[in-house]
Amino acid sequence: MPELPEVEVTRRRIGPLLVGRRICQVRTTRDSYFFLTRPARLRARLTGRRIAALARHGKYLVAELDEGSRLVVHLGMTGQLFSSAATSPRLLSASRRSSISPEAQRDFEADAHTHLQLKFDDGGPGVYFRDVRKFGKVLLLERGESHPRLARLGIDALAATGEALFAATRGRKASIKALLLNQALITGVGNIYADEALFRAGVRPARRAGRVTRRECARIAAAVREVLERSIETGGSSIRDYVAPDGSDGSYQDERRVYARAGEPCLDCGSSIRRITVAQRGTHYCPTCQR
């Protein structure tokens, strides 16, 4: 699933393709749970609008439109937001990929999974939102309108501080990992990044959150920002279906120190990395480096 770094990478790469351009045509698939705003209304309201900015709130991308409304996009599990001129063969189905030459794999053609297509009046490449498993979401908010999905998000993980984390964890019986995954508290820390940050901070994932010290909270907050920023620099993780909007693959997974390394030696001390379940999620840690 795309996590905060992948969404931020998407924002930075797709932003220049959206900002300042005027939408002249909108195509959608037919109405479904994918559309929190009915497709007919999306087509009517987006056509003719200029995109003023592209922001991110947690894992939501928010395109601010010239008359104050906002187009909100969530990539879900397999959502891909990319230029219609993207050339990645990974965007094609395996059967099509095997039947056409590499030269023919250029310029992605919208298919049944391409739920939103934006075309622009400058005649340049369009922007497509494609989602094979359809856990993504599209929503249009009118000027001043809010939505519970956005309103209930906690502080953005890239802005998390040790003091905020310390305050949020006092008196909490849940594990520190469960609190890091709690989007109402801190938004944007996914499973991989929680494990990696806790390793770097030297704190065991199952530790009761209320017993994590102020100094440890400072280390965890710094480690969360560090792993997220490092992942953004390297283009985001490339686990499963995620593909960067320009068609390139991310490479963060090569820097994992504990996640999905159960039984392998810790890169710092050589102990065997353990896998347990915390907050219903597969969780990885070093029994020696983490306390």
| Size of interface with Zn ion, in residues (CB under 5 A) | 7
The active-site residue, picked from 13, 59, 119, 130, is 59
Tokens read off for 119? 């075309």
Q: Is 213 in the site for Zn ion (CB under 5 A)?
A: no
Number of H helices, E strands in the chain: 8, 12
Options 122, 265, 269, 277; binder of Zn ion; rule CB under 5 A: 269
Q: Please name the amino acid found at residue 6.
A: E
Options 266, 279, 284, 285; binder of Zn ion; rule CB under 5 A: 266
> In 107-150, where do the E strands start and end?
114-120, 127-131, 137-141
The Cα–Cα gap between 28 and 114 comes to: 8
Nearer to Zn ion, 64 or 226 (CB): 226
Active site residue 281: yes
Active site residue 265: no
The Cα–Cα gap between 251 and 9 comes to: 12
Q: Is 289 in the site for Zn ion (CB under 5 A)?
A: yes
Minimum distance of Zn ion from residue 289's CB (angstroms): 3
- Write the Ramachandran bin of 48: left for phi over 0, alpha for psi from -120 to 50, otherwise beta: left
Minimum distance of Zn ion from residue 290's CB (angstroms): 7
The active-site residue, picked from 12, 50, 225, 281, is 281
Nearer to Zn ion, 238 or 283 (CB): 283
Active site residue 2: yes
Nearer to Zn ion, 57 or 274 (CB): 274
Nearer to Zn ion, 78 or 290 (CB): 290
The C-alpha angle with vertex 80 and arms to 223 and 186, in degrees rounded to 5, equals: 30
Active site residue 177: no
- The stretch among 21-29, 63-71, 184-192, 262-270 that binds Zn ion (CB under 5 A) is 262-270
The Cα–Cα gap between 234 and 232 comes to: 5
The Cα–Cα gap between 95 and 162 comes to: 49
Tokens read off for 41? 């209304």
Options 42, 185, 224, 286; binder of Zn ion; rule CB under 5 A: 286
- The stretch among 27-35, 51-59, 241-249, 270-278 that binds Zn ion (CB under 5 A) is 270-278
- Residue 254: C-alpha distances to residues 143, 158, 164, 177, 198 (Å): 42, 21, 30, 22, 18
Residues near Zn ion (CB under 5 A) are 266, 268-269, 271, 286, 288-289
Catalytic residues: 2-3, 59, 281
